[in-house]
A and B are shown apart, each in its own frame.
Chain A
Amino acid sequence: MLKKRIGSFGIILIIALIFIFLPFVYNNQSFLFNMMLYIALAEGLNIIYGFTGYLPFGYVGFFGAGAYSASLAILFLHFPPLLSIFIGGMGALLVGVVLMPLLKLSGAYFAIANLAASQALYYIVANPNLESITHGPYGISLASVYNPHASYYTMLAVLVLSMIIVLFIRTSNFGLSLLAIKEDRITASLAGVNVAKARAIAWGLSAFIAGLSGASFAWYVSVFYPGTVFSLNISVIVIVFALFGGIGTIAGPLVGSLILYSFYNFIGISTPQYFQLLYGILIIVLVLFLPDGITSILQKRKIYVP
C-alpha cells in the first residue's frame, strides 16, 4: 500500500512540476489552464462515477455553482479571489447537499435527474429577474480582479488537490467501501459499510472539486455567461475524458484528458470538421474494444495502474 501511495505521489509531483514550468517554455497558457481544468474535473467526476458508479450527467451544475458562488463573493462581499475560490467550492458543496436525495435513485434515473437539476440551476442563474444578483443572462465580469498568472497557479493547486483526494480514495479502506457500493449496495451494507454516509462523502468531494474548478475558471477568464459555465458540453467532455482513460484510477482521467484535450486543440480548432469525425470514430473504437479505458490495457496485463 505504501509503495503504491509513493508511486502515485510521484505521478502527482511530476504533473505539478510540468504545469509549474511549462508556461516558461510554452506560451499558450490558456491551453495549459484548460488542460488542468479538464484533468481536475475528470478526477472529480471519477470520485463519484469511478468509485461509486453514479453517473452525474449534470456534473457541470457544480462547476457553474462554483463559478457563480466565487464571483458573487468577489462582487458583493468583496472577498479576495483566493477566499472566493474556496467559497466557490463550498457553494458547489451546498448544491451537492441539496441534491443529495438524488443519490437514492440509481442508473439512468439518477443521471437524468442530475442533468435536470443542473439545467434548473442554469435557468435560475440566467433568469433576468435575478439580474441584480446573478446579472441574469448578461453574465459576470470580474475585470477588477483579473489575474491570469495567479488564477493559473490556483488551478494547479486545485488539480493537485483533486489528484491527492483520488489517491487517498484509491488506496484507502474508504475507497474500497466505495467500490463495494459500486458493486452492490446491499452486500456493501452487509460488510458493515454505511452506504448513505460513504456515497454522500464521495458526492460532496466530487462537487467540491468541480466548484473549486469552476471558481478558478471564473477568475481566470474573468468574463463569462451562464451558458459558458452551465454548458452541458462540459459534462459530456469530462465524462468522455474520464472514460477514455479509465475510471477508478488516478492515471485514467489524467491520461484521457491529456490525450483527448491535446487532440482537440491540435486538430479540433484548425479543422473542426475532421475533428468531429475522428473524435466520433475514437469513441466508437473505445466503446467496442476498450470499454474500461486505455489504462485497462495495463490492468489486463496485471500491471498496477495508480
Chain B
Amino acid sequence: MQELLEISNLEAGYGLIKVLWGANLAVKQNECVVLLGVNGAGKTTLLKTVVGLLKVWKGKVTFDSNDITYLRPDIRIANGIAYMSELAIFPNLTVEENLKLGGYFKGDKENKKRMEKLYQYFPDLKEYKHKMGGSLSGGQRKMLGVAKTLMSNPKLVIMDEPSSGLSPKFVKRVIEVLNMFHEEEKVAMLIAEQNISFLDFAEKTYILDGGKIIFEGSVSELKSNNIIREAYFGITH
C-alpha cells in the first residue's frame, strides 16, 4: 500500500532546544498508526511539526506524494489532514459552530449531511448543538473535538492524546468511534498516546524516546519486545 504520510529525518524544536533528532515515520493509506512515548518524548512536537505549527529544522514531510514540509497549517488541512490537539475546541462557540469550523472547506450542504452522520455517533452533541462548547463536560468536549476533527472527511486524522483527562468509559467510546470511522471511511490515523488501550486497533506502532524513533513494528512485535515490555508496560517476565 502507498505511503500517505512520510516523515524523513525530521529535526525540530523550540527556540534553541532541539526536541526531534531525526525522526522517521510513515503512515500508509487506510492504516492506523499509534505513536507511543512517555511524557517529554517529543510526540506533540512531532505532530505539531507535521501539521505545520512548528517549523522543520531539517528533514522532509510528504503527504499524498506532495512535499508539505514548508506549507502553512491551513493549506495542509485543506489537503486532507485533520488534527486534534489536546485543546481542540472553541469554548465560546456553539457545538454546531464548532462542527461547522471542522468542515470549514466543505460546502454548507455537505457539512449538514456530515453533521447528521456524526450526530448519530455522538447523540449528546445533537442534544447540545446550541450550547457553548465550554459548557460541556470534559468527556463531551473531547467527543466534540473528535467529531470536529472528523467533519472534514479527511484522508488522515492526527490526534494528540485523545484519551487524556477521560474516564475509562469515555476512552472506550472514543476508541469505538475512531475504529468505526477507520473501518467505514478507510481513513488513515496517526494517534499519539500514552494509553495502551489504543493499541487494540493499531496496525503499526512507533515508540518515540528522546526525540528519536526507537521502535517500529506491529502491535504483536511491540508486545513481544522485552525491552519495550519492561520500559512501557512494566512487564518484567
Q: Which residues of A contact B (CB under 8 A)?
A: 1, 173, 176-177, 179-180, 183-184, 186-195, 302
Contact = CB atoms under 8 A, between A and B. Distances in A.
B59 interface: no
Interface in B80-117: 83, 85, 87-93, 97, 100-102, 104-105, 108
Contacts of A195: 74
Contacts of A192: 74, 77-78, 104-105, 152
B53 interface: yes
B125 interface: no
A171 to B, nearest CB: 12
Nearest to B84: A190
B172 interface: no
Nearest to A197: B74
Contacts of A177: 101, 104
B210 interface: no
* Dominant secondary structure of chain A at its interface with chain B: helix
A191 B84 CA distance: 9
Contacts of B85: 187, 190
B51 interface: yes
Interface of B: 51, 53, 72-74, 77-78, 83, 85, 87-93, 97, 100-102, 104-105, 108, 130, 148, 152
B185 to A, nearest CB: 18
B92 A183 contact: yes
B90 A187 contact: yes
18 contacts: A176-B93, A179-B97, A180-B101, A183-B92, A183-B93, A184-B87, A187-B87, A187-B88, A187-B89, A187-B90, A189-B73, A189-B74, A190-B53, A190-B73, A190-B77, A191-B102, A191-B104, A192-B77
The 8 closest A-B pairs by CB, nearest first: A192-B77, A183-B90, A192-B104, A191-B101, A189-B73, A194-B74, A192-B74, A190-B83
- Chain A CB within 10 Å, residue with most, of B72, B74, B85: B74
A194 B71 CA distance: 12
B101 A184 contact: no
A184 B93 CA distance: 11
A173 B78 CA distance: 15
Contacts of B53: 186, 189-190
A2 to B, nearest CB: 11
B72 A194 contact: yes
Contact of B104 (A1, A173, A179): A173
B87 A193 contact: no
B97 A173 contact: no
B74 A193 contact: yes
Given A183-B92, A187-B85, A191-B104, 17 more contacts: A173-B100, A177-B104, A179-B92, A179-B97, A180-B90, A186-B53, A189-B53, A190-B73, A190-B83, A190-B85, A191-B148, A192-B78, A193-B101, A194-B72, A194-B74, A195-B74, A302-B130
Nearest to B73: A189
A1 B112 CA distance: 13
Contacts of A302: 130
A186 B148 CA distance: 15
A193 B104 CA distance: 7
Contacts of B104: 173, 177, 191-193
A197 to B, nearest CB: 9
Nearest to A182: B92
B44 to A, nearest CB: 13
A180 B73 CA distance: 15
B128 to A, nearest CB: 13
Nearest to B158: A190
A188 B78 CA distance: 13
A265 B36 CA distance: 67
A192 B102 CA distance: 8
Contact of A184 (B51, B90, B97, B105): B90
Contacts of B108: 1, 173
A176 B101 contact: yes
A183 B72 contact: no
B102 to A, nearest CB: 6
A231 B97 CA distance: 39
A100 B53 CA distance: 22
- Chain B CB within 10 Å, residue with most, of A192, A193, A302: A192
Contacts of B73: 189-190
Nearest to B52: A189
